[in-house]
Structures are given as C-alpha cells and as structure tokens.
Amino acid sequence: MSAFGGASLYKGDLGSVTMPFKKPKGVVGAGMVFELNPRMLVRAELNYGKVSGSDKLSVKNKHRNLDFTSSVTEAALSFEYILFDLYEYKVSPYLFAGIGTFKFSPYTFDSKGNQLMLAELSTEGQGFYENRKNYRLQQLAIPFGGGLQWALSPKIRLLLEAGIRKTNTDYLDDVSTTYIDKQLLEQNRGSTAVGIAFRTDELDAGTPYPADGTVRGNPNNNDWYIFTGLHFRISLQPKMRQVRYTYKPKRAKLSCPVVF
C-alpha cells in the first residue's frame, strides 16, 4: 500500500519556460503496488491535485492577462523498474512509465471575483466555430518519471519522485488556438464569454478586441502537468521473503588487551 503527497505543477500556454516552478499547488494520492520480482513492480494509483497558470507570472505574454485553475483527478497504471534490489541494498534509483486518465475542469474569476467555468464559455468558439469541437473534461495521460527509493525496513520504503504527465489535450488551461469574431462569440455564448476570452483591456482600457484569427495560444503543443513529492509504502504481505543484509550495525567484538 502506498500514500503520496507533494506539489503539482503545470506547463502549457499560460506562462513562460520557468512558469512550472512558480506558485505550485498540492497533490495527494493513494495506491497499491504489486511486486513481480524484487526489481519490477506494477503500481495502481489514484491522485488528486490542483494546477494553475497565469500570464501575470510571464514576461512574454503578460499583456494577454489570462489565467486558470483546475482540479485534476487521476487514475493511473504504471510499470516500475528499480535499478538495485532493495532486499540487498538500502537505496536505489528507479524509473516508471504507464498510462492514465484524468478529469479536469478549468475555471477563472472575473474582475468582480465571480468564479466562471471556462469550458462552458467556449472562449475559442468550441462547439460552434468552424471545426472546433467542445473539449472533453476527461482525457488520457502518459505518466513517466523516476526518483530514489530508500528501504527503511524490509516492509517500509520511502520514495522521492518526480513524475511528469504528457496529456492528449491542449485545453487543460482553456487556451489553444485563436480568437474568434467578437460578435459571433457573443451571439453564441453571451457577453461574459467575450469578456473572459479577451482580458487585455482589463490592464489597458480601450484596447480593441482582436480580429478573428488572431493568435491566442499554440495548438502545436499539448499541455503537461507534473506531480512530484514523497511516497510512503508499507507491505501488507503477512510474510516477507528473507533479506540478505541486516539493518542493525554490527557490534565490535571486545577482547582482553595483550601484554607485551
């Protein structure tokens, strides 16, 4: 059995290269680990965290003034490989990779502090503009990463892990392609959607709404999220196989002094 806690980070259209390491959110999780042999394991996990991004933390796109926050609920199945047998060594690096699914729901706050669910606003015309479909709030992810494991006892292990999730969506942050015509968006989703799709005018009053097709995001790169932290594992097996080293230091043998 495993318990997990740490920080959750995001990489996408809202932020610069250093953005993932600014203002991280938290993540917790639990799972089961099945030992195929001392160095190969299968892990099933359920994690819950939050991710967020903001142009306020970016230099390049600060004028765009977009932001989001989203909860992320993830279920994943992964294969783990430990470099050294932890029944023989106390510390070992390890790697893991697998497949998972996650639910998300990006939201933001308007200038009056009201929370708005972004998927419902179709800020880039999803559901009515050209071939842009409404994005699904459950998507696939590929978790992979690694870290270090410590065998604290034959039944207890502590893991320091950095886990990256490559997703198959570019809408974790609700930003992907271009602005659409202001009147068209207002006709289909109302004035609230118009105000949230373009927020530069909140910084610089009087800035005109962009023309249809103006770049809003980068559709060529899907979004990523990162769960990094500590796992605490304890074996539920009633009988562990015999280890080949001891955790107790050997005591020095004392003998009578030799008289010369």
Distance CA 203, CA 210 (A): 15
In this prediction, residue 238 carries a pLDDT of 65
pLDDT per residue of the chain (260 residues) written in tens, 0 to 9: 999 999 999 999 996 545 555 678 999 999 999 999 999 999 999 999 999 999 998 888 899 999 999 999 999 999 999 999 999 999 999 999 999 999 999 999 999 999 999 999 999 999 999 999 999 999 999 999 999 999 999 899 999 999 999 999 999 999 999 999 999 999 999 999 999 999 999 999 999 999 999 999 999 999 999 999 999 999 987 655 555 554 454 454 544 443 33
Split into its structural domains, the chain has a count of 1
> Where in the sequence is the domain holding 121, given as residue range(s)?
2-234
| CATH code, domain carrying 83 | 2.40.160.20
Decide if 239 is inside a domain. no
Our CA dihedral for 137, 143, 145, 148, rounded to 10 degrees, sits at 100
The DSSP line for 3-19 is: EEEEEEEEESSSS-TTG
Decide if 256 is inside a domain. no
pLDDT in tens, 191-236: 999 999 999 999 999 999 999 999 999 999 999 999 999 999 999 8
Decide if 208 is inside a domain. yes
In this prediction, residue 236 carries a pLDDT of 86
Decide if 249 is inside a domain. no
Vertex 220, ends 218 and 223: CA angle to 5°?
Answer: 75
Q: Select from 149, 123, 145 the least CA-distant residue to 134.
A: 123
Residues with Cβ within 8 Å of 91's Cβ and at least 6 positions away in sequence, in order, are: 84, 148, 149, 150, 151
Distance CA 118, CA 67 (A): 10
Q: Select from 196, 238, 253 the least CA-distant residue to 64.
A: 196
In this prediction, residue 254 carries a pLDDT of 46
Decide if 202 is inside a domain. yes
> Cα dist. 251→88, 153, 200, 254 in Å?
20, 19, 71, 9
Question: What is the DSSP secondary structure assignment for residue 243, as one 8-state letter?
Answer: P
Decide if 253 is inside a domain. no
Block residue for tokens 């980070």: 9
Q: What pTM was computed for the model?
A: 0.87
Decide if 45 is inside a domain. yes
Decide if 211 is inside a domain. yes
pLDDT in tens, 57-88: 888 889 999 999 999 999 999 999 999 999 99
